[in-house]
Structure 1
Amino acid sequence: MRNLGAGTWIWGTALALSLAFTAWYHNWSGPLTAAEISAYVEQLQGRPGSNPEAVMTLKTFLEADDGREFIMLNVIKLHADPQPHPQTGEPTDAAELLGTYSSAFIGRLLRSAGHPVFVADKVGPFVDTFGVTERPDWTFTSMVRYRSRRDLAEAATYEGFPGAHLFKTAAIENTFNFPTQTQIQLFFSPGLLLPLLLFFVASLTHLVVMVRRQRP
Protein backbone atom coordinates (compact mmCIF):
# COMPACT_ATOMS: atom_id res chain seq x y z
CA MET A 1 0.00 0.00 0.00
CA ARG A 2 2.87 2.34 0.82
CA ASN A 3 4.38 1.69 -2.63
CA LEU A 4 0.99 2.21 -4.21
CA GLY A 5 0.64 5.53 -2.36
CA ALA A 6 4.05 6.73 -3.51
CA GLY A 7 3.31 5.69 -7.08
CA THR A 8 0.02 7.54 -7.02
CA TRP A 9 1.73 10.76 -5.96
CA ILE A 10 4.56 10.37 -8.47
CA TRP A 11 2.42 9.54 -11.48
CA GLY A 12 -0.32 11.93 -10.46
CA THR A 13 2.18 14.80 -10.28
CA ALA A 14 3.65 13.89 -13.67
CA LEU A 15 0.17 13.73 -15.20
CA ALA A 16 -0.91 17.05 -13.66
CA LEU A 17 2.24 18.81 -14.88
CA SER A 18 1.85 17.32 -18.37
CA LEU A 19 -1.77 18.42 -18.61
CA ALA A 20 -0.93 21.92 -17.36
CA PHE A 21 1.90 22.26 -19.88
CA THR A 22 -0.26 20.94 -22.73
CA ALA A 23 -3.04 23.37 -21.83
CA TRP A 24 -0.56 26.26 -21.96
CA TYR A 25 1.52 25.17 -24.95
CA HIS A 26 -1.30 24.65 -27.45
CA ASN A 27 -3.98 27.01 -28.73
CA TRP A 28 -7.44 26.04 -27.45
CA SER A 29 -9.20 29.30 -28.38
CA GLY A 30 -9.70 28.52 -32.07
CA PRO A 31 -9.12 30.93 -34.96
CA LEU A 32 -9.29 34.68 -34.54
CA THR A 33 -12.71 36.27 -34.82
CA ALA A 34 -13.47 39.19 -37.11
CA ALA A 35 -13.90 41.43 -34.05
CA GLU A 36 -10.48 40.47 -32.71
CA ILE A 37 -8.81 41.13 -36.06
CA SER A 38 -10.47 44.54 -36.35
CA ALA A 39 -9.30 45.47 -32.85
CA TYR A 40 -5.70 44.46 -33.56
CA VAL A 41 -5.62 46.27 -36.91
CA GLU A 42 -7.09 49.40 -35.35
CA GLN A 43 -4.38 49.40 -32.67
CA LEU A 44 -1.62 49.07 -35.28
CA GLN A 45 -3.07 51.73 -37.55
CA GLY A 46 -3.28 54.14 -34.64
CA ARG A 47 0.43 54.03 -33.91
CA PRO A 48 2.67 56.90 -35.05
CA GLY A 49 4.72 55.89 -38.10
CA SER A 50 2.52 52.89 -38.83
CA ASN A 51 3.25 51.21 -42.17
CA PRO A 52 -0.15 50.79 -43.93
CA GLU A 53 1.15 48.10 -46.30
CA ALA A 54 2.62 46.05 -43.45
CA VAL A 55 -0.58 46.36 -41.44
CA MET A 56 -2.67 45.16 -44.39
CA THR A 57 -0.31 42.23 -44.97
CA LEU A 58 -0.71 41.19 -41.35
CA LYS A 59 -4.48 41.65 -41.59
CA THR A 60 -4.64 39.27 -44.57
CA PHE A 61 -2.64 36.67 -42.65
CA LEU A 62 -4.85 36.98 -39.58
CA GLU A 63 -8.03 36.68 -41.65
CA ALA A 64 -6.83 33.29 -42.96
CA ASP A 65 -6.31 31.97 -39.41
CA ASP A 66 -6.85 28.22 -39.03
CA GLY A 67 -6.13 28.16 -35.30
CA ARG A 68 -2.94 26.13 -35.74
CA GLU A 69 0.58 26.89 -34.62
CA PHE A 70 3.04 28.19 -37.22
CA ILE A 71 6.75 28.84 -37.57
CA MET A 72 8.12 32.13 -38.84
CA LEU A 73 11.15 31.76 -41.12
CA ASN A 74 13.63 34.66 -40.93
CA VAL A 75 16.68 35.31 -43.09
CA ILE A 76 18.79 38.23 -41.85
CA LYS A 77 21.79 40.30 -42.87
CA LEU A 78 23.23 42.46 -40.11
CA HIS A 79 25.01 45.74 -40.77
CA ALA A 80 28.76 45.12 -40.99
CA ASP A 81 29.62 48.51 -39.45
CA PRO A 82 28.50 49.88 -36.08
CA GLN A 83 25.17 51.68 -36.21
CA PRO A 84 23.78 54.59 -34.16
CA HIS A 85 22.18 53.43 -30.93
CA PRO A 86 18.44 54.29 -31.07
CA GLN A 87 18.60 55.95 -27.64
CA THR A 88 22.11 57.36 -27.29
CA GLY A 89 23.24 57.73 -30.91
CA GLU A 90 26.55 56.05 -30.03
CA PRO A 91 28.01 53.71 -32.70
CA THR A 92 27.04 50.20 -31.59
CA ASP A 93 27.73 46.75 -33.00
CA ALA A 94 24.73 45.44 -34.94
CA ALA A 95 24.72 42.12 -33.08
CA GLU A 96 24.49 43.99 -29.77
CA LEU A 97 21.57 46.06 -31.07
CA LEU A 98 19.76 42.94 -32.22
CA GLY A 99 20.44 41.33 -28.85
CA THR A 100 18.64 44.20 -27.12
CA TYR A 101 15.62 43.67 -29.35
CA SER A 102 15.71 39.90 -28.90
CA SER A 103 15.84 40.17 -25.11
CA ALA A 104 12.63 42.18 -25.07
CA PHE A 105 10.86 40.20 -27.78
CA ILE A 106 11.82 36.67 -26.72
CA GLY A 107 10.67 37.31 -23.17
CA ARG A 108 7.23 38.27 -24.46
CA LEU A 109 7.24 35.34 -26.90
CA LEU A 110 8.08 32.74 -24.25
CA ARG A 111 5.21 33.86 -22.04
CA SER A 112 2.79 32.88 -24.82
CA ALA A 113 4.45 29.50 -25.52
CA GLY A 114 6.45 30.77 -28.50
CA HIS A 115 10.14 29.95 -28.83
CA PRO A 116 13.02 29.70 -31.31
CA VAL A 117 13.13 26.42 -33.22
CA PHE A 118 16.65 26.99 -34.44
CA VAL A 119 19.16 29.75 -35.20
CA ALA A 120 21.92 29.04 -37.73
CA ASP A 121 24.80 31.14 -39.07
CA LYS A 122 25.57 31.24 -42.79
CA VAL A 123 28.87 29.40 -43.32
CA GLY A 124 29.20 29.13 -47.10
CA PRO A 125 28.27 30.53 -50.52
CA PHE A 126 24.96 30.11 -52.35
CA VAL A 127 24.52 26.54 -53.62
CA ASP A 128 22.11 25.52 -56.39
CA THR A 129 20.48 28.96 -56.23
CA PHE A 130 18.81 30.44 -59.31
CA GLY A 131 16.06 32.83 -60.33
CA VAL A 132 17.20 35.37 -57.73
CA THR A 133 18.53 38.71 -58.91
CA GLU A 134 19.76 40.00 -55.54
CA ARG A 135 21.87 37.90 -53.21
CA PRO A 136 22.75 39.76 -50.01
CA ASP A 137 25.51 38.28 -47.89
CA TRP A 138 23.11 36.91 -45.29
CA THR A 139 24.39 36.64 -41.71
CA PHE A 140 22.07 34.00 -40.27
CA THR A 141 18.65 32.38 -40.46
CA SER A 142 16.19 31.49 -37.72
CA MET A 143 12.80 29.88 -37.23
CA VAL A 144 10.46 30.93 -34.43
CA ARG A 145 7.41 28.97 -33.28
CA TYR A 146 4.15 30.79 -32.51
CA ARG A 147 1.32 29.04 -30.69
CA SER A 148 -1.22 30.85 -32.85
CA ARG A 149 -1.77 33.87 -35.06
CA ARG A 150 -3.50 35.47 -32.09
CA ASP A 151 -0.17 35.41 -30.27
CA LEU A 152 1.53 37.07 -33.24
CA ALA A 153 -1.10 39.81 -33.16
CA GLU A 154 -0.63 40.20 -29.41
CA ALA A 155 3.12 40.53 -29.87
CA ALA A 156 2.71 43.07 -32.69
CA THR A 157 0.37 45.22 -30.59
CA TYR A 158 2.38 44.87 -27.36
CA GLU A 159 2.97 48.35 -25.97
CA GLY A 160 6.70 47.78 -25.60
CA PHE A 161 7.12 46.54 -29.17
CA PRO A 162 7.66 49.88 -31.01
CA GLY A 163 10.59 50.84 -28.77
CA ALA A 164 12.20 47.42 -29.03
CA HIS A 165 11.61 47.31 -32.79
CA LEU A 166 13.86 50.37 -33.24
CA PHE A 167 16.81 48.21 -32.21
CA LYS A 168 15.86 45.57 -34.79
CA THR A 169 15.67 48.06 -37.67
CA ALA A 170 18.94 49.67 -36.54
CA ALA A 171 20.76 46.31 -36.53
CA ILE A 172 19.45 44.74 -39.74
CA GLU A 173 20.45 45.82 -43.24
CA ASN A 174 18.34 43.26 -45.16
CA THR A 175 15.78 40.69 -44.13
CA PHE A 176 12.86 38.66 -45.37
CA ASN A 177 10.51 36.41 -43.47
CA PHE A 178 7.34 34.45 -43.97
CA PRO A 179 5.15 32.08 -41.89
CA THR A 180 5.31 28.32 -42.46
CA GLN A 181 3.57 25.21 -41.17
CA THR A 182 5.45 21.96 -40.66
CA GLN A 183 4.83 19.10 -43.10
CA ILE A 184 7.70 16.79 -42.07
CA GLN A 185 9.43 17.02 -38.69
CA LEU A 186 12.26 14.71 -37.63
CA PHE A 187 12.62 16.01 -34.07
CA PHE A 188 10.39 16.21 -31.01
CA SER A 189 8.65 19.48 -30.34
CA PRO A 190 8.44 20.67 -26.70
CA GLY A 191 4.72 19.88 -26.82
CA LEU A 192 5.58 16.18 -27.02
CA LEU A 193 9.07 16.13 -25.51
CA LEU A 194 8.26 17.62 -22.11
CA PRO A 195 5.40 15.20 -21.28
CA LEU A 196 7.62 12.29 -22.33
CA LEU A 197 10.42 13.56 -20.08
CA LEU A 198 8.02 14.01 -17.17
CA PHE A 199 6.77 10.43 -17.47
CA PHE A 200 10.34 9.15 -17.86
CA VAL A 201 11.36 10.95 -14.65
CA ALA A 202 8.24 9.63 -12.93
CA SER A 203 9.09 6.06 -13.91
CA LEU A 204 12.67 6.38 -12.62
CA THR A 205 11.52 8.02 -9.40
CA HIS A 206 8.92 5.31 -8.80
CA LEU A 207 11.52 2.63 -9.43
CA VAL A 208 13.97 4.21 -6.97
CA VAL A 209 11.28 4.47 -4.29
CA MET A 210 10.30 0.82 -4.72
CA VAL A 211 13.93 -0.40 -4.59
CA ARG A 212 14.68 1.59 -1.44
CA ARG A 213 11.59 0.32 0.35
CA GLN A 214 12.40 -3.28 -0.49
CA ARG A 215 15.87 -3.08 1.04
CA PRO A 216 16.21 -4.82 4.41
Structure 2
Amino acid sequence: MKNLGAGTWIWGTALALSLAFTAWYHNWSGPLTSAEVDAYVEQLQARSDGGDPAALRDLRSFLEADDGREFVMLNVIKLHTDPQPHPQTGEPTDAAELMGTYSSAFIGRLFRSAGHPVLVADKIGPFVDTFGVTERPDWTLTSMVRYRSRRDLAEAATYEGFPGAHLFKTVAIENTFNFPTHTRIQLFFSPGLLLPLLLFFVASLTHLVVMVRRQRP
Protein backbone atom coordinates (compact mmCIF):
# COMPACT_ATOMS: atom_id res chain seq x y z
CA MET A 1 0.00 0.00 0.00
CA LYS A 2 2.86 2.34 0.80
CA ASN A 3 4.45 1.67 -2.58
CA LEU A 4 1.08 2.17 -4.24
CA GLY A 5 0.68 5.47 -2.41
CA ALA A 6 4.12 6.66 -3.45
CA GLY A 7 3.45 5.60 -7.02
CA THR A 8 0.18 7.48 -7.06
CA TRP A 9 1.93 10.70 -6.01
CA ILE A 10 4.80 10.21 -8.45
CA TRP A 11 2.69 9.38 -11.48
CA GLY A 12 -0.02 11.84 -10.52
CA THR A 13 2.55 14.64 -10.35
CA ALA A 14 4.04 13.65 -13.72
CA LEU A 15 0.58 13.53 -15.27
CA ALA A 16 -0.44 16.90 -13.82
CA LEU A 17 2.77 18.58 -15.04
CA SER A 18 2.40 16.98 -18.46
CA LEU A 19 -1.19 18.15 -18.80
CA ALA A 20 -0.30 21.66 -17.63
CA PHE A 21 2.54 21.87 -20.15
CA THR A 22 0.36 20.51 -22.96
CA ALA A 23 -2.38 23.03 -22.14
CA TRP A 24 0.18 25.85 -22.34
CA TYR A 25 2.21 24.65 -25.32
CA HIS A 26 -0.64 24.11 -27.78
CA ASN A 27 -3.29 26.46 -29.13
CA TRP A 28 -6.75 25.64 -27.80
CA SER A 29 -8.42 28.91 -28.82
CA GLY A 30 -8.99 28.01 -32.46
CA PRO A 31 -8.34 30.25 -35.47
CA LEU A 32 -8.47 34.03 -35.32
CA THR A 33 -11.88 35.62 -35.80
CA SER A 34 -12.48 38.41 -38.29
CA ALA A 35 -12.91 40.84 -35.42
CA GLU A 36 -9.54 39.85 -33.94
CA VAL A 37 -7.81 40.27 -37.31
CA ASP A 38 -9.32 43.74 -37.74
CA ALA A 39 -8.24 44.76 -34.23
CA TYR A 40 -4.64 43.59 -34.67
CA VAL A 41 -4.24 45.22 -38.08
CA GLU A 42 -5.75 48.48 -36.82
CA GLN A 43 -3.29 48.51 -33.91
CA LEU A 44 -0.36 48.02 -36.28
CA GLN A 45 -1.63 50.72 -38.64
CA ALA A 46 -2.03 53.20 -35.79
CA ARG A 47 1.35 52.36 -34.29
CA SER A 48 3.25 52.64 -37.57
CA ASP A 49 1.34 55.67 -38.85
CA GLY A 50 0.00 53.62 -41.76
CA GLY A 51 3.15 51.55 -42.19
CA ASP A 52 3.96 49.67 -45.37
CA PRO A 53 0.57 49.04 -47.05
CA ALA A 54 1.85 45.95 -48.89
CA ALA A 55 3.29 44.44 -45.70
CA LEU A 56 0.05 45.08 -43.82
CA ARG A 57 -1.97 43.50 -46.63
CA ASP A 58 0.25 40.43 -46.55
CA LEU A 59 -0.07 40.17 -42.78
CA ARG A 60 -3.85 40.54 -42.93
CA SER A 61 -4.03 37.83 -45.59
CA PHE A 62 -1.94 35.49 -43.43
CA LEU A 63 -4.03 36.15 -40.32
CA GLU A 64 -7.33 35.76 -42.17
CA ALA A 65 -6.23 32.34 -43.46
CA ASP A 66 -5.55 31.13 -39.90
CA ASP A 67 -6.05 27.38 -39.45
CA GLY A 68 -5.36 27.39 -35.72
CA ARG A 69 -2.18 25.34 -36.12
CA GLU A 70 1.33 26.07 -34.97
CA PHE A 71 3.78 27.27 -37.61
CA VAL A 72 7.49 27.92 -38.02
CA MET A 73 8.81 31.24 -39.33
CA LEU A 74 11.85 30.92 -41.59
CA ASN A 75 14.27 33.87 -41.42
CA VAL A 76 17.32 34.48 -43.60
CA ILE A 77 19.41 37.45 -42.45
CA LYS A 78 22.36 39.52 -43.61
CA LEU A 79 23.77 41.71 -40.86
CA HIS A 80 25.62 44.91 -41.58
CA THR A 81 29.37 44.31 -41.63
CA ASP A 82 30.15 47.82 -40.38
CA PRO A 83 29.16 49.18 -36.94
CA GLN A 84 25.77 50.87 -36.92
CA PRO A 85 24.49 53.73 -34.74
CA HIS A 86 22.95 52.50 -31.51
CA PRO A 87 19.22 53.41 -31.53
CA GLN A 88 19.47 54.95 -28.06
CA THR A 89 22.99 56.35 -27.78
CA GLY A 90 24.01 56.83 -31.40
CA GLU A 91 27.35 55.13 -30.68
CA PRO A 92 28.73 52.88 -33.45
CA THR A 93 27.80 49.36 -32.38
CA ASP A 94 28.46 45.93 -33.85
CA ALA A 95 25.40 44.67 -35.74
CA ALA A 96 25.49 41.31 -33.97
CA GLU A 97 25.29 43.09 -30.61
CA LEU A 98 22.30 45.13 -31.81
CA MET A 99 20.64 41.97 -33.06
CA GLY A 100 21.28 40.32 -29.71
CA THR A 101 19.46 43.16 -27.93
CA TYR A 102 16.45 42.66 -30.19
CA SER A 103 16.51 38.88 -29.81
CA SER A 104 16.65 39.06 -26.01
CA ALA A 105 13.55 41.24 -25.88
CA PHE A 106 11.57 39.45 -28.57
CA ILE A 107 12.42 35.85 -27.70
CA GLY A 108 11.73 36.54 -24.03
CA ARG A 109 8.25 37.66 -24.98
CA LEU A 110 7.86 34.74 -27.37
CA PHE A 111 8.75 32.14 -24.73
CA ARG A 112 5.88 33.31 -22.57
CA SER A 113 3.46 32.24 -25.31
CA ALA A 114 5.19 28.90 -25.99
CA GLY A 115 7.18 30.16 -28.96
CA HIS A 116 10.84 29.28 -29.28
CA PRO A 117 13.71 28.95 -31.75
CA VAL A 118 13.80 25.65 -33.63
CA LEU A 119 17.09 26.32 -35.40
CA VAL A 120 19.71 29.09 -35.52
CA ALA A 121 22.62 28.52 -37.93
CA ASP A 122 25.49 30.64 -39.24
CA LYS A 123 26.41 30.66 -42.92
CA ILE A 124 29.82 28.96 -43.34
CA GLY A 125 30.32 28.75 -47.10
CA PRO A 126 29.38 30.00 -50.57
CA PHE A 127 26.14 29.31 -52.43
CA VAL A 128 25.75 25.69 -53.53
CA ASP A 129 23.35 24.45 -56.24
CA THR A 130 21.67 27.86 -56.27
CA PHE A 131 20.00 29.16 -59.43
CA GLY A 132 17.11 31.29 -60.64
CA VAL A 133 17.96 34.26 -58.43
CA THR A 134 19.28 37.62 -59.61
CA GLU A 135 20.81 38.75 -56.32
CA ARG A 136 22.89 36.79 -53.86
CA PRO A 137 23.44 38.78 -50.67
CA ASP A 138 26.20 37.51 -48.43
CA TRP A 139 23.77 36.11 -45.86
CA THR A 140 24.97 35.93 -42.26
CA LEU A 141 22.61 33.44 -40.66
CA THR A 142 19.30 31.65 -40.86
CA SER A 143 16.83 30.80 -38.13
CA MET A 144 13.50 29.05 -37.67
CA VAL A 145 11.15 30.13 -34.89
CA ARG A 146 8.12 28.18 -33.71
CA TYR A 147 4.87 30.03 -32.98
CA ARG A 148 2.03 28.38 -31.13
CA SER A 149 -0.48 30.14 -33.37
CA ARG A 150 -0.97 33.11 -35.67
CA ARG A 151 -2.70 34.82 -32.76
CA ASP A 152 0.59 34.71 -30.88
CA LEU A 153 2.39 36.28 -33.85
CA ALA A 154 -0.17 39.09 -33.87
CA GLU A 155 0.15 39.50 -30.09
CA ALA A 156 3.94 39.74 -30.39
CA ALA A 157 3.73 42.26 -33.23
CA THR A 158 1.31 44.48 -31.30
CA TYR A 159 3.10 44.13 -27.95
CA GLU A 160 3.71 47.60 -26.53
CA GLY A 161 7.43 46.98 -26.13
CA PHE A 162 7.87 45.66 -29.67
CA PRO A 163 8.52 48.91 -31.61
CA GLY A 164 11.50 49.84 -29.43
CA ALA A 165 12.99 46.35 -29.68
CA HIS A 166 12.26 46.07 -33.40
CA LEU A 167 14.27 49.23 -34.05
CA PHE A 168 17.42 47.36 -33.00
CA LYS A 169 16.61 44.70 -35.62
CA THR A 170 16.08 47.17 -38.46
CA VAL A 171 19.34 48.94 -37.62
CA ALA A 172 21.33 45.69 -37.41
CA ILE A 173 20.02 44.00 -40.57
CA GLU A 174 20.98 45.00 -44.10
CA ASN A 175 18.84 42.40 -45.91
CA THR A 176 16.34 39.80 -44.78
CA PHE A 177 13.49 37.68 -46.02
CA ASN A 178 11.05 35.75 -43.84
CA PHE A 179 8.06 33.54 -44.45
CA PRO A 180 5.87 31.18 -42.37
CA THR A 181 5.95 27.42 -42.93
CA HIS A 182 4.18 24.25 -41.86
CA THR A 183 6.48 21.34 -41.05
CA ARG A 184 6.23 18.47 -43.52
CA ILE A 185 9.00 16.21 -42.21
CA GLN A 186 10.55 16.49 -38.76
CA LEU A 187 13.27 14.12 -37.59
CA PHE A 188 13.45 15.31 -34.00
CA PHE A 189 11.05 15.47 -31.07
CA SER A 190 9.27 18.75 -30.52
CA PRO A 191 9.03 20.00 -26.91
CA GLY A 192 5.30 19.27 -27.06
CA LEU A 193 6.12 15.55 -27.16
CA LEU A 194 9.58 15.48 -25.62
CA LEU A 195 8.77 17.07 -22.25
CA PRO A 196 5.84 14.73 -21.40
CA LEU A 197 8.03 11.74 -22.35
CA LEU A 198 10.82 13.03 -20.10
CA LEU A 199 8.39 13.58 -17.24
CA PHE A 200 7.10 10.02 -17.45
CA PHE A 201 10.65 8.69 -17.77
CA VAL A 202 11.67 10.53 -14.60
CA ALA A 203 8.51 9.30 -12.87
CA SER A 204 9.31 5.69 -13.76
CA LEU A 205 12.87 5.98 -12.44
CA THR A 206 11.70 7.71 -9.27
CA HIS A 207 9.05 5.07 -8.64
CA LEU A 208 11.61 2.31 -9.19
CA VAL A 209 14.06 3.90 -6.72
CA VAL A 210 11.33 4.26 -4.09
CA MET A 211 10.29 0.62 -4.45
CA VAL A 212 13.88 -0.65 -4.26
CA ARG A 213 14.64 1.37 -1.13
CA ARG A 214 11.51 0.20 0.64
CA GLN A 215 12.27 -3.43 -0.12
CA ARG A 216 15.70 -3.24 1.51
CA PRO A 217 15.89 -4.79 4.97
Residue aligning to 1:12: 12
Question: What is the match of residue 151 of structure 2?
Answer: 150
Distance 1:51 1:174 in 2: 17
TM (norm. structure 1) is 0.99
CA shift at 1:211, angstroms?
0.3
TM-score, length basis structure 2: 0.98
**Structure 1 CA distance for aligned equivalents of residues 100 and 55 of structure 2:** 24
Structure 1 position 159, deviation (Å): 0.5
Tell me the residue number matched to 1:208: 209
Aligned to 1:72: 73
Offset at 1:52? 2.1
CA offsets per residue over residues 155-178 of structure 1, 9 Å max, x none? 000011001010000000000010
Distance 1:139 1:85 in 2: 20
Partner residue, 1:185: 186
How far 1:202 moved relative to its partner?
0.1
Number of residue pairs the alignment of both structures matches: 216
**Residue type of the alignment partner of 1:144:** V
Write the deviation string for residues 98-145 of structure 1: whole angstroms up to 9, x where unpaired: 000001000100000000001000011111000001000000000000
Residues 65-97 of structure 1 show CA distances to partners (whole Å, capped at 9, x for unaligned) of 000000000000000010000011000000000
State the one-letter code of the partner of 1:7: G
Q: For residues 104 and 55 of structure 1, what CA distance do their matches in structure 2 show?
A: 23
The amino acid across from 2:178 in the alignment is N
Who is 1:167 aligned against?
168
1:1-216 equivalent positions in 2, closer than 5 A: 1-49=1-49, 50-216=51-217
Unaligned runs of 5+ in 2: none
2:29 and 2:92 map into 1 onto residues whose CA distance is 45
Provide the C-alpha distance between the structure 1 equivalents of 2:54 and 2:167, rounded to a whole number of angstroms.
18
Cα RMSD over matched residues?
A: 0.6
Identical positions, percent: 88
Give, in whole Å, the separation in 2 of the partners of 1:206 and 1:112: 32
**5+ long unaligned stretches in structure 1:** none
Deviation at 1:10, TM superposition (A): 0.1
Task: State the distance in 2 between where 1:65 and 1:163 align.
Answer: 27
Cα offset, 1:201, TM superposition = 0.1
- Any idea what the Cα deviations from partners look like across 1:183-213, whole Å, max 9, x if unmatched? 1110000000000000000000000000000
Output the CA distance in 2 between the equivalents of 1:161 and 1:203: 43
